[in-house]
Amino acid sequence: MTNVTLAIPDDLHTKMKEHSEIRWSEVVRKTIAEKVEMLEAMDTLAKKSKLTKKDVEEIAHKINKEVFLEMNKK
């Protein structure tokens, strides 16, 4: 198994230490695995898509704008 080193802010590390019962490396490992799985699914979908990169960027921009507006309503 490969080891990966990452940097986190001191305040986050302090909060993590308050929950020493959590296996933080396992949390990170699972999170990375989920992200990779999602990216692989997206790659599979993208290969079948007839959308151009510009089309995807425009859609993503619209989604991001809507999410931003929705989050700022609260």
Read off the pTM: 0.62
Per-residue pLDDT of the chain (74 residues; tens, 9 = 90+): 899 999 999 999 999 999 999 999 999 999 999 999 999 998 898 888 888 889 989 999 999 999 988 888 86
What residues contact 24, with CB distance under 8 A and at least 6 apart?
A: 16
Question: Contact at 8 Å (CB) between 16 and 22?
Answer: yes
Query: C-alpha dihedral over 37, 38, 41, 46, to 10 degrees?
Result: -140
